[in-house]
Structure 1
Amino acid sequence: MGYEASIEFSWAPLLVELKEEEENRRVLRLDSIEENAKYWLGVDVLVFDSAHWWTHSGKWSSWDYFKEGARLFTNLNPMVAYEKGLTTWAKWVDLNLDPRRTRVIFRSVSPRHNRENGWQCYKQKEPLVFLGYSPRVPGQLVVLREVLKKMSFPVYLMDVTSMSALRRDGHPSIYAEEGRDREGPASDCSHWCLPGVPDAWNEMLYALL
């Protein structure tokens, strides 16, 4: 394109390392990040995003155990685990990146209009009106803000949460599966249609660059 630029995608949805150990146990190492972070060195602009995968549970969970140091946990509050993992990431950024060389942007959690929020996307075709609407602040965003406050490296928080919360109409809802016109598991209120809301996030990112 003439800009001598390249874009790379590094798959690390939990930021910290997820390992398969003895007896096929999937262990999420809350204080280990080097294997993922080696791809982040020498980059001009880093854009991070980590939130939803931390709340998965049961058969949807990516891990069987949490590990911190030599301690192994089977049960840990998801937001406590998220804070520990995010703190590991923050320490790595503070110690290994130079703000004169690298810009770091962290995109906030994408809101879900799902079951616990009353299936707010079910069959919706119009966005919410901002006036009088007070969106719920996800726990991940609360944790992220607190961790960023403690960092010495200037990380820019690209907050897409509130603006996206208005777009209850932007999800596939029931329309992702033709003929399944019913409220329930078929109503996808977590993912987004494309083109759609994520395009607005890209416009925000473009403006930051």
Structure 2
Amino acid sequence: MVSKPLKKCDIFSGEWVPNPEAPYYTNATCWEIHEHQNCMKYGRPDSEFMKWRWKPNECELPIFNPFHFLEIMRGKSMAFVGDSIGRNHMQSMICLLSRAEWPVDVSYTDDFSFKRWLYSNYNFTMATFWSPYLVRAEQVDSKGDLINIYLDEFDEKWTAQIKEFDYVIINGGQWFLRPIVFYEKQKIVGCQYCSWENVTHLTWHSGYGKAFRTAYKAIVNFGNSKVVTILRTYAPSHFENGVWDKGGNCIRTKPFKSNETRLEGYNLELHTIQLEEFKRAEKKATKRGLKFMLLDTTQAMLLRPDGHPNNYGHWPQENMTLPNDCVHWCLPGPIDTMADFLLETLKREGFTSFPKKDFI
């Protein structure tokens, strides 16, 4: 029996509730877990962070059904474009889909930042494109401490291939908080955290919106005539007791309730700009018959300070202090719920099919 789209409630507003049936894979059953997100391998002592599901306030959100998803995607292709959280998301998808089928690596390169996977039985291709700024960018120095980003220029590492894909999921956020030199029309228009003489100081706010604007323009201009653009909104980090390179950590072991924290500061600003640019692009794309979809997962992920690797993404290093990771997500972990959101949103948008078998 095929599940139908749910009552049209806001699936992105809700709470995390216990789910004793989770997780649906382990680090022993899924080989596509990045080492730095393999928290159980590296000795994380608690496991409760894997045993929660998202409960919308006015309805239920079904657990991801890999067979149903693959049937919807039969003969299709999906690209994840953005930063390492996008790659984290795709690796979660591979683990969840492994209950139905393992993919074949059909990548054009050995670079794990540009991987392609084929689900042969469904003729479905899934790919990841590393593009943390979504536009053309280059390092200014060998250390990578300062980055030039060209706000009005496409990042051809992904835009040149985007016509091959039916669904494009884009994301971005954390990298815009670093030292950046902003360019438009091949000229410097400002700089963030660089203190150069005779160069205007700009914050990430203006550049962030323009980068998304350029990315959407690339998809609309170069994507195929039926491409579906999906924005997966910003996933907040959870550093406490210091910033990322000054001893900050994330040692909580359970989710927040929605009344225990709120979206504020740069997290709120990033999210707001994303939604503004999404709505602007969606309006233009609709006139051309193109579909835009929103995965507004920010609030759900804000409530999961317990889901990060912290210091369980590597073995303890003698004579070496490595920053704790409170940005990426353990696998299995909270990021698996993004698949629940994705499948339900696809169904609500009318992308349905009939799986050959149910998943329980």
Q: 2:254 aligns with which of 126, 133, 139?
A: 126
Deviation at 1:27, TM superposition (A): 2.7
**1:149-199, CA deviations, whole angstroms, 9 ceiling, x for partnerless residues?**
21212421211110011111111234446669xxx9744322211110111
Structure 2: 5+ residue stretches without partners: 1-119, 193-201, 286-290, 347-360
Q: Give the 5 Å matches for 1:1-209.
A: 1-19=120-138, 27-33=148-154, 35=156, 36-57=158-179, 65-72=181-188, 73-75=190-192, 76-97=202-223, 101-115=226-240, 122-131=250-259, 133-136=261-264, 137-151=267-281, 152-153=284-285, 154-176=291-313, 186-209=323-346
Q: Which amino acid aligns with 1:190?
A: V
* Number of residue pairs matched by the alignment: 199
SS at match of 1:101: coil
In 2, distance between residues paired with 1:70 and 1:204?
Answer: 39
Greater Cα radius of gyration, structure 1 or 2 = 2
Asked which structure has the greater RCO (Cα within 8 Å, sep 6+), the reply is 2
Could you say if the C-alpha distance between residues 6 and 93 of structure 1 is closer, same or farther in structure 2, counting changes exceeding 3 Å? closer
Q: Tell me, yes or no, if the aligned pair for 2:137 and 2:149 is still in contact at 8 Å.
A: yes
SS at match of 2:253: coil
Which has the larger share of helix? 1
In 2, distance between residues paired with 1:168 and 1:129?
Answer: 11
In 1, distance between residues paired with 2:324 and 2:127?
Answer: 32
**TM-score normalised according to structure 1 size:** 0.79
**TM-score normalised according to structure 2 size:** 0.48
In 2, distance between residues paired with 1:95 and 1:117?
Answer: 43
Identity among equivalent pairs (%) = 23
Q: Which amino acid aligns with 1:145?
A: L
In 2, distance between residues paired with 1:56 and 1:20?
Answer: 12
In 2, distance between residues paired with 1:117 and 1:145?
Answer: 29
Could you say if the C-alpha distance between residues 117 and 26 of structure 1 is closer, same or farther in structure 2, counting changes exceeding 3 Å? closer
Q: Tell me, yes or no, if the aligned pair for 2:169 and 2:229 is still in contact at 8 Å.
A: yes
In 1, distance between residues paired with 2:216 and 2:241?
Answer: 30
Q: What do you get for the CA RMSD once the two structures are aligned?
A: 3.3
Q: Which amino acid aligns with 1:55?
A: L
Q: Which amino acid aligns with 1:28?
A: I
